[in-house]
Amino acid sequence: MSAQIIEGKKISDLIREEIKRDAEALKEQGVVPGLAVVLVGEDPASKVYVGSKEKACQQLGFYSEVHRLAENTSESELLALIDKLNNQASINGILVQLPLPKHINEKAVIDAIDVNKDVDGFHPESVGNLVIGDDSLLPCTPAGVIELIKRSSGDISGKHAVVIGRSNIVGKPVAMLLLRENATVTICHSRTANMEEIAKQADILVVAIGKAKAIGSKYVKPGAVVIDVGINRLPDGKLAGDVDYEDCLETAGYITPVPGGVGPMTITMLMSNTITAAKRANKIGE
């Protein structure tokens, strides 16, 4: 039997409707959520992402600022802008688009963002709160993964989740969030000796390794939920995930396509974080 396709766009649209209602309710109280996005340089993919974020703000009725800085902007100039945005009342969320030019220290920039405006969830304090289970703004892609699982296949509690990949952006935080949902979590990576055997035990398999079609059906337990976070461009120009989608279609119970799976969720969760930060800044719903 063919797997049920987890339609990220459809789930993302549902969440955006919820966010829009929240934004309208806040507006009635005189609060407009504000997001500032900072782009340094001319990276083509980054420019596309920033444009998408700007569009999402417009659609949801948020206040939006986009700061497009030259490639040769100094680290001190960027830090001065962040300091200004930290102190700007109309801005609830700050996102500095990564990667940054090589002459700028990425960690220094992330550390400089006010943790209450850290809508990317990358600040060390946000990461620490995630690990110990305290309230924090969650990293967008991992939070999106959890929403996809919950809104398609249901309860995570008690399930065995295997995460393939240990990056700071996806692998580690998604493992922490799955743990928070009471899954039993195993993390596999490039040095894992018996990955196929471990992956095949998973009720939920999350793959984020950046290698096109690396995970086939031999890694998938029949009926498992398979979440593919990868996005890779093939030699023919087409996009493919880290999971061999066609090969896994008959084995998985639920599966995300690429594109159209996890991708649409990332910006939606960024908007969700911005509205959460706006509520907290104005002590609404506490």
CB atoms under 10 Å from CB of 263, counted, come to 21
Are the beta carbons of 115 and 130 closer than 8 angstroms?
no
Instruction: Supply the residues annotated as catalytic.
Output: 53, 97, 120
CA 45 from centroid of its chain's CA atoms = 16
| Mode of pairing for the β-strands spanning 239-240 and 232-233 | antiparallel
Average pLDDT over residues 238-247: 95
Q: Report yes or no: 186 and 162 within 8 Å, Cβ to Cβ.
A: yes
Reported as a single tens digit per residue, the pLDDT across 89-106 is 999 999 999 999 999 999
C-alpha–C-alpha distance, residues 71 and 44, integer Å: 13
Tell me the residue ranges of DSSP E strands in 45-119. 63-69, 93-96
- Cα 122 from Cα 143, distance rounded (Å): 13
Instruction: Encode pLDDT of 150-201 as tens digits.
Output: 999 889 999 999 999 999 999 999 999 999 999 999 999 999 999 999 999 9
| Greater model confidence, 227 or 50 | 227
Query: What pTM value is reported for the model?
Result: 0.94
pLDDT class of 44 with cuts at 50, 70, 90: confident
